Amino acid sequence: MADTLAAMASSPADYERLGLSPTSIAQWENGARTDDSAGSYEWWYFDAHLADGAKLVVTFMNKDMVELQKLSPQLRLDLDLPDGRHFEKLVHYPPGEWSVAKDHCDVRLGENRFTGDLHRYRIQATAEEISVDVTLTGEVPPWRPSTGYMLFGADRSLEFAWLPSVPQGAATVTYSVDGEQHETTGVGYHDHNWGNVSLSKVVHDWYWARGQAGPYSVIASYITSAKQYGFEPIPIFMLAREYVIVADDPTKVTFERDGVYTDQTTGKPVAATTRYTYQDGEDRYVVSFTRTRDLLENRMIDTIKGLKRIAAKLAHFDGAYLRFAGDIEISRYRGGELAETHKDDAIWELMYFGHARDQ
């Protein structure tokens, strides 16, 4: 970090300062990590791909990400149904209806609850005509990239942190739409994020993906820091085989973008294929995500209302969020020879806070 303005906190001193173990994750790490003070933010996130074809995302957030000065709890719930219907819900709550335990994950937002113990979670949420009840049981153990803290600035005081508490788990889900109830199972994921600086100030863009194919599951991200931090890249990579982590050293990862085009809605450069290559001695793993269609193409300014929208326009805010559907392909090479390859469906995202730049 001494030579860069953006990097993962990973030194022995970092672990000691943060009170973390390099080999295990404690219950309190998934409890409250901020005090809701001005400038800080925190959220608990869950998603699942369900056996009946539905896709579900639930997020408990303590702040509106456009206004970090005050506690403004909200529930986000996205549900894609097998029949093509799509629901995006955002419900705001008064500050008094938000509470979080410090020693473990127990988040309460009105009558909604997100609770668990790093292995088994229960998520209950209702947003207008949509209601969900989820049980998530971890299969891949809790993991974090080093300490989980990304530090920005010469004094390392600006933080964004990430804890994938359930990199992959078995989900049992009951969801209802206008009283019509469905019960199904699927593959789920849960992570927890927090920070003390607006992401738009420290991050230019990121690709983030998770997926499964054959015996493998993967979490992969390539974060590019903002211009004032030299567009310094922060790669994140975790590969598990049969639920055992086999690769997670970011220094062994290279990232490539293929087929870059300009998205017409957002004006952002988008890669048709993103590829993560992990070289570990004789073993080489190649994980590719290839887009077949867009699920979301959002200009962030379109979601901002009133005076905040005027201020964002005056500041030339140009953020965008895109979500893609397509194929994940995971291949393992041994000594240059292809040993195995697996392919499946996947969903991934591109978050773009900065202005488009040459790739």
Dihedral sign from CA coordinates of 219, 162, 324, 116: positive
Q: Which amino acid is at 145?
A: P
Contact 229, 6 (CB under 8 A): yes
Same fold across 1-197 and 198-359: yes
Asked if residues 279 and 268 have their Cβ atoms less than 8 Å apart, the reply is: no
For the chain, domain boundaries: 1-197, 198-359
Report pLDDT digits (tens) over 147-183: 999 999 999 999 999 999 999 999 999 999 999 999 9
Strand 41-50, strand 6-8: pairing: unpaired
Using CA atoms, how far apart are residues 209 and 211, in angstroms rounded to an integer?
7
For the chain, list residues with pLDDT below 70: 1-3, 297, 299-318, 358-359
The pLDDT assigned to 354 comes to: 76
CATH ID of 1-197, from 2.40.370.10, 3.90.550.10, 3.60.150.10, 3.30.70.3040: 2.40.370.10
pTM value?
0.91
Q: How far apart are CA 211 and CA 49, in angstroms?
A: 10
What are the pLDDT digits (tens) for 250-300? 999 999 999 999 988 888 999 999 999 999 999 999 999 999 998 876 755
Q: How many CB atoms lie within 10 A of CB 260?
A: 11
**pLDDT (0 to 100) of residue 223:** 97
CA angle 250, 163, 169 (to 5 degrees): 100
Q: Residue 306: its pLDDT value, please?
A: 55
- Residue closest to 316 by CA, chosen among 300, 329, 328, 293: 300
pLDDT at 313: 44
DSSP 85-116: -EEEEEEE--GGGEEE-SSSEEEEETTEEEEE
CATH topology of domain 198-359: AttH-like fold (2.40.370)
What size, in residues, is the chain? 359
Could you tell me the two tokens for 224? 């590019």
- The residue ranges of DSSP E strands in 143-252, in sequence order, are 149-152, 158-177, 180-195, 203-213, 216-225, 233-241, 244-247
